[in-house]
Amino acid sequence: MWPPQCPAALGAVARGIYTRRSTPADAGDGAAQVAEYFQDYITVAVFAAFGAVLVAVAVGAASLLRPSNPTATKSQTYECGIDPVGGGWSQTHVRYYIFALLFLVFDVEAVFIFPWAVQLETLGVFALVEMMVFVVILLAGLVYAIRKGVLEWES
């Protein structure tokens, strides 16, 4: 039974994997399209979740094999072998927050710019000029920040 059927089974595997489930043309009614839309994102969610599950399973499996013998010294915070001084959550420089603010402006731009890039050919010169104005305004912000000394690390 099994060996003669093997090529056929492999063929079916290949067909199933190599055939995209459906194209927009044959997605008939609205309900099917909605289902299709959610299937796309279920796939994404399942793959992302698998990353987390993989870690959980691996760590769980290791817990059966590894020794577990925590002591007070062992679970001390590592600081080059001497007793830790002060807390671990120490103060950090404010410049990291300023970088984040600077980034936020441009990141919003990135969200706008992708749909624009896809439709650029149909929208034409008007859209091009429009986006140039937008980008120049943002660049002015960047120049201001640099002139203000955000990137200077000497204090």
Partner 1 sequence: MNVLFDNFWALLGIKLLLIVLVVMTTALVVIYAELKLGAHFQHRIGPYFAGGRWGWAQPLADALKFLQKEDIIPAAADRVVFKAAPMVSLMAYFAVVVIIPFSPRLVVQDLDVGIFYALAAGSLGTLGVLMAGWSSANKYSLMGGLRAAAQLIAYELPLVLAVVGVVIQAGTMSMVGIVEAQAEPAFHLGSVGIPLPFVLQGQLIGFIIFMIAMLAELSRTPFDLPMAESELVMGYLTEYSGLRFTMFFLAEYAGIFVMSALVSTLFLGGYFLPGLPSNVFGPVILMGKTSVIIFLIIWFRWTWPRVREDQLQGFAWRWLVPLALANLAVTATLKVVF
Q: Which C-beta is closer to partner 1: that of 30 or that of 126?
A: 126
Among 21, 33, 140, 148, binds partner 1 (CB under 8 A): 21
Please list every residue from 106 through 135 that binds partner 1, using CB under 8 A. Answer: 106-107, 110, 113-114, 117-118, 120-121, 124-125, 128, 131-132, 135
CA end-to-end distance (rounded Å), the chain: 79
The CA distance from 62 to 68, in Å, is 11
Binding status of residue 90 toward partner 1 by CB under 8 A: yes
Which of 108, 127, 125 minimizes the C-alpha distance to 117? 127
The alpha carbons of the chain give a radius of gyration, in whole angstroms, of: 28
Residues 54-73 that bind partner 1 (CB under 8 A): 54-56, 58-59, 61-63, 65-70, 72
